[in-house]
Structure 1
């Protein structure tokens, strides 16, 4: 497995990749950006006309131990024994999210599927339903990870990018096939609940209307105090912990407000009769959470990864601000500073719970997916 990383120098004359791109064919191009990548993608399609390209808009790009803004970061991947297939599906409204996930899974399902990497638009796709469609179609296969495209703290437009252009209502799935690739996942948050635990008495899909019979938006504005004037962006600082009697708790972030209907909008379904509790975090707890996600990777195998994809929630960045590099330092301290690292800040993270088991949509976590290609067959 060969990995190279590059940054698009848009202001140079002429614009170019730094360092220069490798020659020859590649197997996969991963691109994350908070800028306009049109020229960069056009350049890539000329240099790698037959290589699958997938990427998305972000709330900040991750390249090694630094977080960038208004940049376009590219990772070029080459495999010796692993096949790669990319599919893109449109999502015809929130209600189509489950079926979109099922359609992606159907196209990529093969006996030797090793891992599925998924990216989706952040405002037009119901992330929990998307993951449910993937899980149901691929069951008992559960090696799925990825992230939800973001738009800073603006919540206006998110984009997926392929060689065919940019898309605002789509899902991209990347299947990795063969018996030589080892993929590990880690995922953890570091947020703490506070305040009363309230029953969800009125919700519809991803819309939350009432908690304990009280307008949820009114309660949010009360608890947020001065932060209420900055909704929905300030909602990233105060996610909800959603829990039921028969499921693992899930952290959900506010992604929008319907002021006319006085309800909160999330990237996942909010089930009635479950419970909701506000959460908050400090920098130390979030850094501890980053270490925990890395340790989950280490516990699965002692092999040094050849590439790591990090997807972290924009809410973590809102809390940590200029200290955000410290969660990337947690990775290098735990797993090694020489590992090529790429990724982005998202509106949602897709990964198995605590790195193993069934895949879920998460908010406010650092999610890590590592790739190592072995010369010998792993399952033989």
Structure 2
């Protein structure tokens, strides 16, 4: 049989109708009645439980994993709205997919990483190839999570991790993670992919510095209190427009923090790691990012550059083709930062960029993705967290 993959998409507003339409389209394209695994990305306008129940019904209860996104990227569709759902249905005698999930990741990244590792460890086999991780973008701290997660697995089980953080259409109130019939919040879902397959990927961010080098002078975990001896928020105000106090998410769309890429990753990445500023505290002037940072760390204020982003997206197929060595892709998963969607590109531009990627990697390759609150993808052999970035993952 090999591997059959189908993609379905719907923008119907009724969750049952949308779930059925997307799932049935995916099954029809895959040419199967019951898949071995289902991946789902959806936006948050739906009643999430009804949507997932409809997809589970249409796919005969096949194992399901996924999350909510700011928007959905599918085979011929890019939609950033409250009502959009994409379904990938996979039937294969070459690949196996095992899923696990946890809730309560806001209790601490280290605790969450250890708990998920305990659930994942029995599912990892000698032929396991990759993890796909989907977590709540409002509660996730990557560095302690990945340290505990990898520390809880035997060395042979430390696989490359790909994925994205669940989003909620800029509301920053509640995101969702899907595991079979469950709809979680403050949770994380993980897929272990095993069997006769390999993974190739490409990563690009397209941001440039807008100021001089600065230094973090007071921090704790992923909270930055002071930059150059001044409250972090006061420093950032120099670069923010007048609406920053009432529209924080909008004010920080074009502004983020850049950290020098560590020496051991320089050959496989760009000059800076990018971190989105997820939250602020007006009382102490601190800001929060999605990974830990130590006092004394150098940083740059950076912004997105539209031309660099477009050129960077075009470079991703070249990165991937070097790894494929001519082998045909089975399917593609794309994890795209929500700061690289409609806030930068017009609808036709977004569609043109996605279709250009699809043409370069094979126009008929099954393709599903979502706009995230953070992206996960390896640089060389190190699992890394990214912001304002595109991570395109190809299974072949």
Residue of structure 1 equivalent to 2:51: 40
Instruction: Verify the 8 A CA contact 2:116 2:149 in the aligned structure 1.
Output: yes
In 1, distance between residues paired with 2:321 and 2:217? 41
Does residue 288 of structure 1 match 2:311? yes
Residue of structure 1 equivalent to 2:208: 192
- The normalised TM-score by structure 2 is 0.86
Residue of structure 2 equivalent to 1:206: 222
In 2, distance between residues paired with 1:14 and 1:332? 30
Instruction: Verify the 8 A CA contact 1:253 1:363 in the aligned structure 2.
Output: yes
Instruction: Verify the 8 A CA contact 1:351 1:367 in the aligned structure 2.
Output: yes
In 2, distance between residues paired with 1:85 and 1:270? 33
* Pairing partner for 1:93 from 75, 92, 107: 107
Instruction: Verify the 8 A CA contact 2:16 2:50 in the aligned structure 1.
Output: no
**Offset at 1:121?**
0.7
**Offset at 1:212?**
0.9
Does residue 273 of structure 1 match 2:287? no
Supply the RMSD in Å over aligned alpha carbons.
Answer: 2.3
Secondary structure of the residue that 2:217 maps to in structure 1? strand
Residue of structure 2 equivalent to 1:341: 367
Check 1:212–1:28 CA distance in 2 against 1; reply closer, same or farther (3 A cut).
same
Residue of structure 1 equivalent to 2:129: 114
* Pairing partner for 1:320 from 328, 345, 356: 345
Does residue 81 of structure 1 match 2:99? no
Check 1:260–1:100 CA distance in 2 against 1; reply closer, same or farther (3 A cut).
farther
Instruction: Verify the 8 A CA contact 1:104 1:173 in the aligned structure 2.
Output: no
In 1, distance between residues paired with 2:88 and 2:321? 23
In 2, distance between residues paired with 1:292 and 1:227? 35
Instruction: Verify the 8 A CA contact 1:6 1:74 in the aligned structure 2.
Output: yes
In 1, distance between residues paired with 2:376 and 2:299? 21
Give unpaired runs (5+ residues) of structure 2.
266-271
In 2, distance between residues paired with 1:244 and 1:186? 17
Residue of structure 2 equivalent to 1:5: 7
Residue of structure 1 equivalent to 2:269: none
In 2, distance between residues paired with 1:216 and 1:9? 41
Moved over 6 A (4+): none
Aligned length: 369
Higher mean C-alpha deviation, range 157-166 or range 237-246:
237-246
Residue of structure 2 equivalent to 1:251: 274
- The normalised TM-score by structure 1 is 0.89
In 1, distance between residues paired with 2:173 and 2:35? 34
Instruction: Verify the 8 A CA contact 1:206 1:269 in the aligned structure 2.
Output: yes
